[in-house]
Amino acid sequence: MKRHATLTVIGRDKTGVIARITNFLFQQGANIEALEEQVTRGQFSMTLQATWHPRHLDEAVVRQGLEKLGRELEMEITLRFIEPHRVQRMAILVTREPHCLEALLHAWKNQKLRGAEPVVVIGNRPDLQPLARQHQIPFLHIPWEDRNQAEQKALETLEQYQCDFVVLARFMKILSPNFVWRYKNKIINIHPSLLPSFPGPQAYRQAWERGVKIVGVSAHFVTMHLDEGPIIAQSAFPVTRGMTLADIVARGRQHEAKTLLRAIRLFLSKRLDVYWGIVKEV
């Protein structure tokens, strides 16, 4: 059976990075399945998917060689080997609204989230610690006043728990490109609007003030652009006569939990592909 790995490279842009890394992998018997790179304000970022035949892989040599390349290029190079059929280790980021976290943990406890296991809950507030502990899931409170320090601590935690993907269960902080690129197309968010309409934190209020007749929610992959990531799943409901903003929020929260769960199940099915910013089932 092939060994699968994801390689991420982040650092100041310079010439020859792709050539040196891909040439090294070729020398180590790797087959490059996919590669995506971009430069944003002078920062180079690359995600690469590679496979090896087990007889052609010396993992220690590959890791040592990439560490050496990272030092020479002055870049951060991270290699994660993936077991395609193993249970995916899920990190959940939260703030204080409990409905999405409750839905995820309830589905997992009742074996309705097959293929995933929540291994840690990270909160920028401590409010949901009792809920995580109730389900015997470790909870880590990381204050988010200094985003750089907070994200560094969160990334260290994801590595510690060997997380395969991240779910933002009404996490009310914006993740930086530095964070997002390390888990490209592996961070799933639920947003309370039918994107691309009404991005930002006050989506329900914006919809209510505009008098829209249909309100919805969108589960999407997180990118470096706020609430513009590829959409995985959506759900909507009609705004009936006499509905208040509070009514819309309450109804929307029900849809948030269900749609986020549906998006995670689609992600776990291995049938999603992101092509030119659009999620397709394959």
Average pLDDT, the chain: 91
- 3-class DSSP state of 230: coil
DSSP conformation letters of 110-173: TT-STTEEEEEEEESSSTTHHHHHHTT--EEE---SSHHHHHHHHHHHHHHTT-SEEEESS--S
- The whole-number average pLDDT for the span 139-159 is 96
Average pLDDT over residues 94-118: 95
* Contact status, residue 267 vs residue 190, Cβ threshold 8 Å: no
Domain 3-82: CATH superfamily, name plus number: ACT domain (3.30.70.260)
Cβ–Cβ < 8 Å for 215, 193: yes
Q: Where are the alpha helices (DSSP H) in 161-244?
A: 177-180, 203-210
Tens of pLDDT, residue by residue over 163-200, are: 989 999 999 999 988 899 888 889 999 999 998 888 88
pLDDT digits (tens, 9 = 90+) for 206-235: 999 999 999 999 999 998 877 888 999 999
CA 64, chain centre distance (Å): 28
Can you give the pLDDT at residue 34? 86
240-281 residue pLDDT tens: 998 999 999 999 999 999 999 999 999 988 655 555 455 656
Q: What are phi and psi of 126, to 5 degrees?
A: -85, 5
Q: Which amino acid is at 241?
A: R
Selection from 32, 159, 23, 14 nearest residue 72 by Cα: 14
Give CA 88 to chain center in angstroms: 13
Among 255, 226, 204, 234, residue whose Cα is nearest residue 100: 255
| CATH number for region 88-281 | 3.40.50.170
CA angle 45–87–49, rounded 5-degree value:
25
Higher-confidence position of 45 and 102 = 102
73 contacts 24 by C-beta, under 8 angstroms: no
pLDDT for 80:
87
Q: Is the pLDDT of residue 67 over 90?
A: yes
Q: Are 78 and 182 in contact (CB under 8 A)?
A: yes
Query: Does the structure show a pLDDT above 60 at 21?
Result: yes
Percent of residues, the chain, with pLDDT higher than 70:
95
In this predicted structure, the answer to whether residue 84 has a pLDDT above a threshold of 80 is no
Question: Which sequence spans correspond to the domains of the chain?
Answer: 3-82, 88-281
Q: Which amino acid is at 89?
A: R
Catalytic residue numbers, as ranges: 227
pTM, full prediction: 0.85
Paired strand residues for 221: 188
Residues 96 and 141: beta-carbon distance below 8 Å: no
* The pLDDT value given to residue 277: 53
Tokens of 229: 């990531």
- Residue 239 pLDDT: 94
